Amino acid sequence: MARFGLSILAASLLVSTTAFGADQLLLGKKLLIKNPPAGSSGNKLVHLAKDPSITLGAAGSAGDPQCTGAGSGGSSLLRILASGGAGDVTIPLPCGGWTTNGANTLYKYKDPTGASCKLILVKAGVLAKAVCKGAQLAIDVDANMAPVAVVTTLNAESYCTEFGGTVTKDGSDDKTFLRKESAAPAGCPALPDTQKLVFVTSLTYDGNLGGLVGADEKCNTHAGLAGLPGTYKAWLSDSVASPSTRFTHATVPYVRVDDVVVANNWADLTDGTLAAAIDVNESGAAPPDSYAWTNTNPDGTAFSASTSCGDWLDDSGASDGRAGESAYNTTLWTSSFNDDCSNSFEALYCFQQ
């Protein structure tokens, strides 16, 4: 097995300052990981953090993992990241498995099949707990696996521990890793880049967007208010730049906030047809109108220097801007018609970078 040393884990830790919300860095009470000789189906994890600082997102918010939470519950998961190449496992926790109590002081996940985790529990001011068993826990127990980071993500809220701590079983028997009483980590591990979020804004604008910079700021404001992760740019071209030159060309899927795939990657995004229309806003709802400023061809290049509302600084009736229609997944999604820049009926398409 390749060994990468503890510096990789340390380098991946960061304190979140994104719209995802501040990561909650918790005191660890216990982490048990077992690889029984009988085989991987008996792999086991028990994780417990006890910390009075734990807070929960309100029901319906971006911290609510239920299907009624913001963005239909977002993407909840349990991630176990061991050092030394011992494993990096992400277990999805679908919104249908989550419940809360009447006081909304806890969120509980149950999977009676055991295919994900038997139990995940996060209780305000008290604890975060996980009990999982099965081959999905593909962590190779050994003497070089510490520290081990555990991230419990509820929609857009992450609760993080790092063990460290007091050694009870160091994993050198290749069977059992057990550590207790760990300090709160410096930050949560950066999430693996598995998808890029896409939405159309819930508000519409005239042609004076403050240029490309102002349009990008609007996208990030919408994302921030909805508790979405990452940094966003508007699908917009002026006389100098376009998505083809200023976007990250993703090799992972572009996905709406309701988890519907729009395109498999940049090449698929720009081939003229989307897998699904971008007709969901940052909160997972339908937009107020079906038009969006773009001045952009289906391949991501600029449509014309003369249809960018004066580089998106002009809201007079003297110039035009090219627009698309969010109801379509054909080329019309990005290039459909020219509109008067004084009209304020167009939204923006926003793409995570």
Q: What's residue 289's pLDDT?
A: 84
Q: Are 277 and 328 in contact (CB under 8 A)?
A: yes
Given a cut of 70, whether residue 154 has pLDDT beyond it is yes
What confidence category does residue 15 fall into, taking pLDDT thresholds of 50, 70 and 90? very low
d(CA 37, CA 330): 54
Q: Which of the following CATH numbers is that of domain 196-352: 3.90.228.20, 3.10.100.10, 1.20.1560.10, 3.90.1170.40?
A: 3.10.100.10
Given a cut of 70, whether residue 18 has pLDDT beyond it is no
Q: What is the pLDDT of residues 110-150, one digit of tens each?
A: 999 989 999 999 999 999 999 999 999 999 999 999 999 99
Q: What is the pLDDT of residues 38-59, one digit of tens each?
A: 999 999 999 999 999 999 999 9
Q: What is the pLDDT of residues 278-318, one digit of tens each?
A: 999 999 999 888 999 999 999 999 999 999 999 999 999 89
Q: Which residues are paired to 247 by β-bridges?
A: none
Residue scoring higher pLDDT (227 or 209): 209
Domain ranges of the chain: 6-189, 196-352
H-only helix segments in 116-259 = 211-225, 243-246
Residue 227 preceded by cis peptide, ω within 30: no
CB neighbour list of residue 66: distance below 8 Å, 6 or more residues apart? 59, 73, 95, 98, 99, 100, 107
What is the mean pLDDT of the segment spanning 63-87? Answer: 92
Q: Are 47 and 157 in contact (CB under 8 A)?
A: no
Among 259-263, 286-290, 305-309, 342-346, the least confident range: 286-290
Q: What's residue 207's pLDDT?
A: 98
Residue 192 preceded by cis peptide, ω within 30: no
Tell me whether strands 157-163 and 24-25 are parallel, antiparallel or unpaired. Answer: parallel
Q: What's residue 78's pLDDT?
A: 95
What is the mean pLDDT of the segment spanning 157-175? Answer: 96
Residue scoring higher pLDDT (300 or 187): 300
Q: Are 300 and 247 in contact (CB under 8 A)?
A: yes
Rounded to the nearest integer, the mean pLDDT of the chain is 91
Q: What is the pLDDT of residues 81-105, one digit of tens each?
A: 999 989 999 999 999 999 999 999 9
- Is the overall model pTM greater than 0.75, yes or no? no
What is the mean pLDDT of the segment spanning 228-253? Answer: 94
What confidence category does residue 190 fall into, taking pLDDT thresholds of 50, 70 and 90? confident
Which residue reads 């009209």 in tokens?
343
Given a cut of 70, whether residue 220 has pLDDT beyond it is yes
Q: What's residue 192's pLDDT?
A: 67
Query: What is the greatest pairwise CA distance in the chain?
Result: 76
What confidence category does residue 191 fall into, taking pLDDT thresholds of 50, 70 and 90? low
What is the mean pLDDT of the segment spanning 197-221? Answer: 97
Which phi and psi angles does 337 have, rounded to 5°? -160, 165
